[in-house]
Structure 1
Amino acid sequence: MDRLEIFKSIATRAGKGELTFPANVNATLKLQEALDDPDCHIDAAAKMVTAEPVLSARTVAIANSAAYNRSGDEITSVRVAVNRLGFRTLKAMVAAVIVRQLGSGISDPVLRAKAARLWEHTAHVAALAQVLAKKVSRIDAETAMFAAIVHEVGGFYLLSQAESYPGLLDDNTEDWIEYGEKLIGRGVLRQLGVPDQVLQAVEGMWHGGNTTPPRTLGDTLLLANDLAPVISPLHPPESANARQVAAMIDFAVGSGGTLHSVLDESAEEIESLAGALLV
């Protein structure tokens, strides 16, 4: 079976919901379902988060980041962190754990390096999307961060399956862009129960067509992706050139500000949030 046929085969199974997740992903999906219950109390949520060491560490780190810790008072309690962040941000943290768990079973060192690089890219896009949503496009910042966290989930799923197909990801090809992002990614996002608003925004990013200044969730996600200092390892090398072009984009924001001034003023916030996601 050649590379294109393999991509198509994985995409077909993903589209039918025939996905194979590691056991730890299935456990975290149950936590996600529990948080979706409107009757879930903060104490119950904190107890569930505490039971997941990685999620606990990331929740406290995010709560102490410049994006959420306005007072500068550092906290160490998971319950206080959950209270500070709120359930919507907590759900984004759960999504982050699920995305990273998809690559947890990879043993091949080359694929593991790609997964680590892909998460580094994702963390930067998420931090940028949160700030851009809040200060530029004026849309819901938590939704923007959540969308950014899951925007490469198809890539993580493909990496988790690639060991069964030696050489599948030796080269960056257009086959991945066509069948990975669009078909595999859509199947995984639906299986994870991602809301339609977020799914449509991610699909809009796959199709490209940057609108500046950004006004919608899709516009915001695309700009954050273009501005991210770390390029996805699953994209062709020329993506680095697109990053350089995006870095030169500037436009007016509000009264007297520009995109560049917003990014400069928010540099610490972006770096802090991205760093917390990488914990």
Structure 2
Amino acid sequence: MDRLDAFNTIAAQASRGELAFPANVDASIKLQRALMDPDCHADVATRLIQADPLLAARTVAIANSVAYNRSGTEISSVRSAVQRLGVRTLQSLVAAVLVRQIGSRVADPVLQDYVSRLWEHTAHTAALAQVIARRVTHVDPDTALFAGIVHEVGAFYLLSRAQDFPGIMDGEPAEWIEHGEIEIGRGVLAKLMVPESVMDAVAAMWRGMRALPPENLGDTLLLADDLAPIPSPMHTRPGATTAQAARTIDFAIGDGTFDAILRESADEVESLYAVLML
């Protein structure tokens, strides 16, 4: 089976919801479904988070990050962290765990390197998207964070299936972008119950259509993706980067500039990135 046939096979399976996830993903999907329930209040969310020690630790860590701890008052309990963050941010944390679990089945060292660099790119993109949403486009920052976390989930899924399709990672990145990314990505996003607004934003990023200054969630995500200092290994060859060119992007915002906002927000971005890398 050649590479394009492999893409088509995986895409067809994904469109039918026939996805081969690691066993631990099912538990995270159930947790995500519970958190998305409109009746899920803080007490319920606290109990759900406390049941997962790793997620509990990440929840407290992100609550103490610069982005969410504006008062400088550190907290140590999951209950306090949930109250500070809210259920929407918790959904992003669970999504981060879920995405990393999908890539966890990769055993080959070369593919593991792809997974590692892809998560670094994802974490940078998510952190930048949250700050750009809050400071520039004024779309919902929690939604932007979530969108950044899931925007490459189709690529994580492809890497998790690579051992079943020898040679699928050979060839040019353009083939993945043209023949695999959209079809496989949509199927995985749908299986993970990603909201339609986020799916539309990720689709806009796939199309590469962006306004400057950015106006909506899709623009926010694409700009964050461009600015991430670690490029997606699915879009570039190892060693290649568009980050230097992306850093030249600047535009006026009120009495200031986008570059100034990024410099002012550097600690927030780094804090969020560090938590997502835990």
Normalising by structure 2, we get a TM-score of: 0.96
Q: Which deviations, in whole Å up to 9, do the C-alpha atoms of 1:8-34 show, x marking residues without a partner?
A: 110111111111111111111111111
State the match for 2:95 in structure 1: 95
2:213 is aligned to 213
Match of 1:272 in 2: 271
Is 1:7–1:175's contact at 8 Å kept on the other side of the alignment?
no
Q: Give the Cα–Cα distance (whole angstroms) in 2 for the partners of residues 180 and 99 of structure 1.
A: 18
Give the counterpart letter for 2:260 in structure 1: S
- Aligned-partner Cα distance in 2 for 1:62–1:79: 13
Amino acid at match of 1:39: D
How many Å separate the matches in 2 of 1:274 and 1:158? 24
The change in CA–CA distance for 1:238 and 1:111 in structure 2 (over 3 A counts) is closer
Can you give the 5+ residue segments of structure 1 that lack an aligned partner in the other structure? none
User: Structure 1 residues 278 and 65 mapped into 2: Cα distance closer, same or farther (>3 Å)?
Assistant: same
Q: Is the 8 A contact 2:231 2:241 kept in 1?
A: no
The aligned counterpart of 1:169 is 169
Superposed displacement of residue 44, structure 1 = 2.1
Structure 1 residues 13 and 46, CA, compared in 2 at 3 Å: closer, same or farther? same
CA shift for structure 1 position 240:
4.3
Q: Is the 8 A contact 2:173 2:237 kept in 1?
A: no
Query: Residue in 1 aligned with 2:43?
Result: 43
Deviation by residue 1:222-266 (Cα, 9 ceiling, x = unmatched): 000000001111112399453322210110112x11010000000
Q: Which residue of 2 aligns with 1:114?
A: 114
Structure 1 residue 75: Cα displacement: 1.6
Structure 2 unaligned blocks of 5 or more: none
* Equivalent residue, structure 1, for 2:262: 263
> What is the total number of aligned residue pairs between the two structures?
278
Question: 1:186-205 alignment to 2 at 5 Å?
Answer: 186-205=186-205
SS at match of 1:194: coil
- Deviation track 1:206-232 (CA, whole Å, cap 9, x = no partner) reads 010231110110001000000000111
Which region of structure 1 is more displaced relative to structure 2, 102-111 or 34-43?
34-43
Structure 2 Cα separation of the partners of residues 268 and 182 of structure 1: 33
CA RMSD of aligned residues (A): 1.5
| One-letter amino acid matched to 2:274 | G
1:89 counterpart letter in structure 2: T
CA contact (8 A) 1:54 1:97 kept: no
8 Å Cα contact 2:136-2:253 kept in structure 1: yes
Using the TM superposition, name which of 168-177 and 25-34 deviates more: 168-177
Q: Partner of 1:223: helix, strand, or coil? A: helix
Compute the TM-score of the two structures, normalised by the length of structure 1: 0.96
State the secondary structure of the residue aligned to 1:102.
Answer: helix
Paired position in structure 2 for 1:12: 12
Between the aligned partners of 1:30 and 1:210, the Cα distance in structure 2 is 34
Q: Tell me the distance in 2 between the aligned counterparts of 1:210 and 1:40.
A: 35
Secondary structure, aligned partner of 1:67: coil
Q: Distance in 1 between matches of 2:138 and 2:45?
A: 29
Give the secondary-structure state (helix, strand or coil) at the position aligned to 1:61: helix
* Distance across 1 between alignment mates of 2:238 and 2:53: 38
1:231 and 1:239 in contact (8 A); partners too: no
- Partners of 1:239 and 1:183 lie apart in 2 by 27
Moved more, 11-20 or 229-238: 229-238
- The match for 1:251 is 251
